[in-house]
Structure 1
Amino acid sequence: MKKLLLFGFIMVSQLLLAQEEKLVAVPDIPHEIIVNGDTIQEYTMPEIFIGVDIKDEKYRRDMIILRNRLRRVYPYAKATAENLVILNANLEKMSSNSDKRKYIKRSQKYLEEQFTEKLKKLSRNDGKILIKLIDRQTGQTVYKLIKEFKSGWKAFWSNTAARTFSLDLKSEYHPELYLDDFYIEVQLQYLFYSFELENRPAHKPINLNELRKQWSKKISTDEFFPSELRE
């Protein structure tokens, strides 16, 4: 799986560099124990939360995990967007297709050296978020970025292989449509605000306050939606 993610990212890496810069409850399970010669059945009681909303507690744990994932993968998405601008600008200056191919190949080699070991450490869930963030920062899916500089045939097979491991290279980032994407944006803004990540504007402007109001109205009071995100 990690090799697949690495493969996909390295293909995207052809777009990244223009100059050589470093860029649940426990079930009841009875069993017998001996106490002072008497056989007694012992039970494991289900886990009980006292004074804690289970859904709210799960949400908070999930958001901690999400923030950790964002810390790992956001820098790659940011580098993609920043270097894509430089790459396109430099390619426009080249009239020879041969020079363009050499330039892209040199960029790929550099990124293989710089990012291979780091990308091997990413999990499948890290990869899912990375793909979302690349679309957030560039306005293009990973699939489109691959297709732009590779044959459509190779892009098709890359996406097919990725789907086998639940990675959709055509995945788009829509915090206005998908609650999971909204949560990504909320935690991303938190990391920007706390200066844990360097803020770079999304390709398409995002108004977090308007998104919060939208989701607060869309999620009924019978469904779980964190109180701090409601109006």
Structure 2
Amino acid sequence: MKYSRLFILLFVILAAPSIKAQESNVPAIYPKLGKNDTIRVAATNDNGVMIPWIGLHEVIINGSRMWKSPQEQAAFNRLRYNVLKVMPYALFAKRRYEQLERDLSSVKEKKEQKKLVKACDAEIKRMFNTEIKELTITQGQILTKLIDREVGRTTYDIVKQTKGGFAAFSYQLVARVVGHNLKTTYNANEERDIESIIVSSGYYQQ
């Protein structure tokens, strides 16, 4: 029985190239075009017949959530407000950090690299002094999670890489005093409410 299965497998493997070659020799049959058929689309060869198709964007359907109590719904609404409040800052941090990495990779001199890091730090500080400092403790905690979600690194790791270990340690001490933790990571399975809010927010729609 084992030998017969092996023989069948070898036959399929050896026959596959010849089958593919036979299919490629079949002349393609294209659909007849009308006078209004002016849009180019992709097509798939189905046994010689060209079938046109158009790719569609992903559609996410979310069911209506059932709340156990008005208090639970109110808590979710507050979470949603806080997530949408800080999400733009997390996305800004992602774009700015990615830009910094691209700039650093194109510069060899450490002096120029320090200038780029300093400029990035100054830009983030300006945003902090004008907007982020007004965030609540809860919003700040959510922001550190979202930065890890977007950048793939904690706020602590980013500071450590760009400004050094001592600066990261100092920032962490200050953050802990006001109830923050720059080492906070993001786990989509544990933060399902936050994840569902982000996914349904429209930030990632093409």
| TM-score, shorter chain, exceeding 0.5 | yes
1:185 aligns with 2:195: yes
The 3 A distance-change label for structure 1 pair 78 and 54 is closer
Partner letter of residue 172 of structure 1? T
Partner letter of residue 103 of structure 2? N
- Displacement of 1:83 in angstroms is 2.2
Partner letter of residue 91 of structure 2? K
- Displacement of 1:61 in angstroms is 0.5
Task: Work out the CA distance in 2 between the residues paired with 1:103 and 1:80.
Answer: 15
Give the structure 2 partner of residue 42 of structure 1.
none
User: TM-score normalized by structure 1?
Assistant: 0.56
Higher relative contact order (CA 8 A, sep 6+): 1
- Displacement of 1:153 in angstroms is 2.1
1:159 aligns with 2:164: no
Give the structure 1 partner of residue 12 of structure 2.
none
Aligned pairs for 1:75-224 within 5 A: 75-176=88-189, 178=190, 181-192=191-202, 198-199=203-204
Task: Work out the CA distance in 1 between the residues paired with 2:120 and 2:155.
Answer: 17
The 3 A distance-change label for structure 1 pair 112 and 200 is farther
- Displacement of 1:129 in angstroms is 0.4
The 3 A distance-change label for structure 1 pair 109 and 135 is same
Contact 1:63 1:187 in 2 (8 A): no
Identity of aligned residues (%): 26
Structure 2: state its 5+ residue gaps.
1-65
The 3 A distance-change label for structure 1 pair 200 and 127 is farther
- Displacement of 1:136 in angstroms is 0.4
Contact 2:104 2:113 in 1 (8 A): yes
User: TM-score normalized by structure 2?
Assistant: 0.62
- Displacement of 1:55 in angstroms is 4.4
- CA RMSD, Structure 1 to Structure 2 (Å): 2.2
Aligned pairs for 1:36-75 within 5 A: 55-75=68-88
- Displacement of 1:183 in angstroms is 1.1
The 3 A distance-change label for structure 1 pair 109 and 151 is closer
Partner letter of residue 108 of structure 1? D
The 3 A distance-change label for structure 1 pair 146 and 121 is same
Q: Deviations over 1:80-111 (max 9, x none)?
A: 11222221111111111111111222233333
